């Protein structure tokens, strides 16, 4: 791969062939000065492949960054080694912080500082948090929405003043609302159009009307956004989750998604990160089918990783059908292609929004099946049937065994796993927070149900009670996480699906079996998706000698018949 400076120059000439290169030259000179000033240790190659990520809203998790610092020991005990901080940049908070009003400021309410604190004092709070997390070997990544800003951002406030304002071209303005007619409305049911009237003109937005899209046809926008990322690199941030990247480049006559020049823009951001501090994670939030997401890895010169959105609904389908087929099919080469050597999938049972059922990556048949079986209350419906807004424990009937089985699946399949805050102890939907946010935003956004703050006094009490629901979930999930992180095979190994057989030789769909293989190391995973005891033929003869699995669970083997009994909703991990 070419050196980053060469890549930046070639990308610039592709995107802006008629633009002067002096601006780029000056930008690269600035990057060189930044690089020389940094003294952070080098990161391990592909560190994110061995990560177990925990995603949280700082304020909802424990009030602010000082509060989060107090919980770093808890997170270590849980077993996670990377925090994905959901939006922390300054924002009006109308879309949970994805409406950014200042890319270089932390929301004041997250800092625990008195009013009137200086910018330096505010940044120092975050810098101290980074230092303490890194000492505990916990890496930090956070969201940066690069497709749009808040309508309260200084750029947009200037942009709307007049057509002659230098910031007017930072956004997409038109005299009518007819442009980009083939672009779908992403928040269907919440927004009526991708255009919003403002004065004598309209501005374009793919998300809410208070989130105007940036105009990457303007080279100033590209450089400004890259410079924002560099600002945080100087403090030691380990990576960025690039929100909504499929929509960066708009073209008439198209759906304005996944355009070739969108990839070119992403390549520029990657080149900047590679130049200033290699192995800074760039994580693609591309809500697309795997063959489209793979394109955001490029040839190892775009994003390091991307979410495997289609896997999430298929895991839920597998659990309800009590069949391994949905997962084996979605992970087959026909649906999930190979990815570049240095790239990685990120997987999750629940992201920060909903059990997403977008028709972008599920069939109408699957969408209906999953929605019919998991949307158990009318208020859980999101985007007219395209999602289910419910916490993991609600979706899985508040059954600790079923929740643990789901995690045993997700944590052992290929990719870097993401744990959503509170799910590790079975947090429920938060109806009070939902109603509060409707009043604040004016939007009946059911995703508010899956957020809400944590009451640590109550949680600690529950976790100390071994018989409580929270304790039963936490102990199972923590055991799985802490076991996984000791074996690089999980994050780096290949997948080999197995046909599990009954004692009589018949294929047993109710038990999912697969090997994870890395170098000469193999781990065998067996998951009983049914609520009945299953007796299977030993897929590996040496299992006869095993008394316990990797998780310390006792194993019931019938040596004479060569069979293994798996309890209802049970699972085994074997190092073989």
Please tell me the predicted confidence (pLDDT) of residue 141.
Answer: 98
Residues 511 and 386 in one domain: no
The total domain count for the chain is: 2
CA angle 395, 54, 276 (to 5 degrees): 140
By residue range, what is the domain housing residue 255? 47-150+218-429+468-484
CA dist., res. 194 & res. 205, Å (int):
5
Average pLDDT, the chain: 94
Q: What is the mean pLDDT of residues 276-291?
A: 91
CA dist., res. 155 & res. 172, Å (int):
12
Residue 538 lies in a domain: yes
Per-residue model confidence as pLDDT tens digits over 128-178: 999 999 999 999 999 999 999 999 999 999 999 999 999 999 999 999 999
Residue 166 lies in a domain: no
Per DSSP, the three-state class of 184 is coil
Does the pLDDT at position 181 exceed 80?
yes
Residue 66 lies in a domain: yes
Q: Please enumerate in sequence order all residues whose Cβ is within 8 A of that of 224, keeping only pairs 6 or more positions apart, or say none.
A: none
Q: How confident is the model at residue 459 (pLDDT cuts 50, 70, 90)?
A: very high
Residues 412 and 499 in one domain: no
Q: How confident is the model at residue 452 (pLDDT cuts 50, 70, 90)?
A: very high
Residues 552 and 474 in one domain: no
Indicate the length of the chain as a whole number: 576
Q: Do 356 and 313 meet the contact criterion of CB atoms below 8 Å apart?
A: yes
Residues 474 and 550 in one domain: no
Does the pLDDT at position 383 exceed 80?
no
Q: How confident is the model at residue 541 (pLDDT cuts 50, 70, 90)?
A: confident
The Cα-based distances of 133 to 50, 140, 372, 403 in angstroms read 17, 8, 42, 28
Residues 282 and 141 in one domain: yes
Residue 130 lies in a domain: yes
CA dist., res. 418 & res. 213, Å (int):
28
Q: Please enumerate in sequence order all residues whose Cβ is within 8 A of that of 29, keeping only pairs 6 or more positions apart, or say none.
A: none
Residues 404 and 524 in one domain: no
Residues 392 and 499 in one domain: no
Q: Do 485 and 50 meet the contact criterion of CB atoms below 8 Å apart?
A: yes
Residues 518 and 472 in one domain: no
CA angle 476, 479, 481 (to 5 degrees): 110
Residue 188 lies in a domain: no
Token reading at 123? 């940044």
Residues 394 and 528 in one domain: no
Domain of residue 523, CATH code:
2.60.40.1180
CA dist., res. 490 & res. 486, Å (int):
9
Q: Dihedral of CA 79/81/86/89: which sign?
A: positive
Does the pLDDT at position 360 exceed 80?
no
Tally: H helices and E strands in the chain:
19, 23
Q: Do 121 and 115 meet the contact criterion of CB atoms below 8 Å apart?
A: no
Residue 171 lies in a domain: no
Please tell me the predicted confidence (pLDDT) of residue 354.
Answer: 80
Residues 547 and 478 in one domain: no
Residues 529 and 477 in one domain: no
Please tell me the predicted confidence (pLDDT) of residue 160.
Answer: 97
Domain of residue 327, CATH code:
3.20.20.80
The pTM assigned to this predicted structure is 0.94
Query: Residue-wise over 458-475: b if at least 16 C-beta within 10 A, else e?
Result: ebeebbeeeebbbbbbbb
Query: Residue-wise over 503-519: b if at least 16 C-beta within 10 A, else e?
Result: eeeeebbbbbbbbbeee
Please tell me the predicted confidence (pLDDT) of residue 564.
Answer: 96
Q: How confident is the model at residue 96 (pLDDT cuts 50, 70, 90)?
A: confident
Q: Please enumerate in sequence order all residues whose Cβ is within 8 A of that of 256, keeping only pairs 6 or more positions apart, or say none.
A: 180, 182, 183, 206, 247, 249, 250
Per-residue model confidence as pLDDT tens digits over 312-338: 999 999 999 999 999 999 999 999 999
CA dist., res. 225 & res. 368, Å (int):
39
CA dist., res. 482 & res. 237, Å (int):
24
Q: Do 302 and 354 meet the contact criterion of CB atoms below 8 Å apart?
A: no
Please tell me the predicted confidence (pLDDT) of residue 441.
Answer: 81
Over 256-283, what HEC string results? CCCCHHHHHHHHHHHHHHHHHCCCCEEE
Per-residue model confidence as pLDDT tens digits over 216-266: 999 999 999 999 999 999 999 999 999 889 999 999 999 999 999 999 999
- Which residues are tagged catalytic? 243, 285
Q: Exposed (0-12), middle (13-18) or buried (19+): which is 262, by Cβ within 10 Å?
A: buried
Please tell me the predicted confidence (pLDDT) of residue 386.
Answer: 81
Q: How many Cα atoms occupy the beta-carbon half-sphere of 464 within 13 Å?
A: 6
Q: Please enumerate in sequence order all residues whose Cβ is within 8 A of that of 195, keeping only pairs 6 or more positions apart, or say none.
A: 174, 177, 179, 202, 203, 204, 205
Please tell me the predicted confidence (pLDDT) of residue 214.
Answer: 98
Residue 278 lies in a domain: yes
Residue 240 lies in a domain: yes
Residues 306 and 385 in one domain: yes
Per-residue model confidence as pLDDT tens digits over 397-410: 999 999 999 999 99
């Amino acid at each position: 791969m070419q050196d980053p400076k060469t890549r930046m120059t070639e990308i610039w000439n592709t995107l802006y062939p008629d633009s002067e290169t002096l601006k780029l030259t000056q930008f690269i000179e600035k990057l060189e000065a930044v690089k020389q000033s940094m003294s952070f240790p080098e990161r391990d190659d592909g560190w994110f492949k061995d990560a177990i990520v925990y995603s949280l809203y700082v304020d909802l998790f424990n009030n602010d960054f000082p509060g989060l610092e107090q919980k770093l020991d808890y997170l270590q005990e849980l077993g996670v080694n990377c925090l994905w901080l959901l939006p922390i940049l300054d924002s009006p908070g109308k879309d949970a912080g994805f409406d950014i009003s200042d890319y270089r400021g932390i929301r004041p309410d997250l800092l625990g500082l008195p009013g009137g604190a200086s910018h330096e004092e505010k940044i120092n709070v975050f810098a101290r948090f980074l230092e303490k997390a890194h000492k505990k070997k916990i890496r930090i990544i956070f969201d940066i929405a690069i497709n749009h800003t808040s309508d309260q951002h200084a750029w947009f406030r200037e942009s709307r003043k007049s057509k002659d304002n230098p910031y007017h071209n930072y956004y997409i303005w038109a005299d009518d609302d007819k442009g980009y007619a083939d672009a779908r409305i992403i928040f269907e049911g919440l927004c009526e159009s991708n255009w919003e009237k403002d004065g004598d003109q309209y501005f374009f937005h793919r998300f809410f009307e208070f989130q105007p899209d940036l105009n990457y046809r303007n080279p100033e926008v590209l450089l400004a956004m890259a410079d924002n990322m560099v600002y945080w690199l100087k403090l030691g941030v380990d990576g960025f989750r690039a929100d909504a990247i499929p929509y960066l480049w708009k073209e008439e006559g198209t759906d304005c998604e996944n355009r070739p020049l969108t990839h070119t823009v992403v390549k520029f951001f990657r080149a900047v990160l590679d130049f200033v501090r290699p192995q800074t994670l760039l994580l693609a939030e591309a809500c697309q089918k795997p063959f489209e997401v793979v394109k955001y890895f490029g040839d190892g010169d775009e994003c390091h990783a991307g979410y495997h959105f289609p896997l999430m609904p298929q895991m839920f389908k597998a659990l309800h059908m009590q069949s391994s087929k949905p997962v084996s099919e979605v992970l087959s080469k026909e649906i999930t292609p190979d990815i570049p050597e240095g790239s990685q999938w990120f997987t999750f049972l629940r992201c920060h929004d909903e059990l997403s059922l977008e028709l972008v990556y599920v069939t109408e048949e699957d969408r209906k099946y999953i929605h019919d079986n998991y949307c158990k209350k009318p208020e859980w419906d999101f985007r007219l049937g395209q999602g289910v807004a419910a916490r993991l424990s609600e979706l899985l009937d508040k059954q600790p065994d079923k929740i643990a089985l789901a995690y045993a699946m997700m944590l052992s399949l290929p990719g870097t796993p993401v744990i959503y805050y509170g799910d590790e102890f079975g947090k429920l939907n938060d109806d009070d927070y939902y109603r509060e946010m409707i009043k604040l935003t004016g939007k009946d956004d059911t995703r508010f149900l899956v957020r809400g703050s944590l009451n640590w006094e109550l949680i600690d009490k529950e976790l100390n009670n071994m018989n409580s629901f929270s304790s039963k979930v936490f102990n199972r999930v923590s055991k799985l996480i802490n076991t996984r992180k000791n074996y690089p095979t999980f994050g780096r190994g290949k997948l080999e699906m197995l046909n599990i057989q009954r004692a009589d030789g018949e294929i047993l769909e109710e038990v999912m079996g697969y090997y994870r293989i890395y170098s000469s190391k193999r781990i065998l995973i067996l998951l009983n998706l049914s609520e009945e005891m299953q007796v299977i033929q030993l897929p590996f003869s040496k299992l006869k000698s095993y008394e316990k699995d990797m998780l310390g669970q006792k194993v019931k083997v019938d040596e004479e018949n060569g069979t293994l009994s798996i309890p209802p909703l049970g699972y085994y991990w074997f190092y073989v």
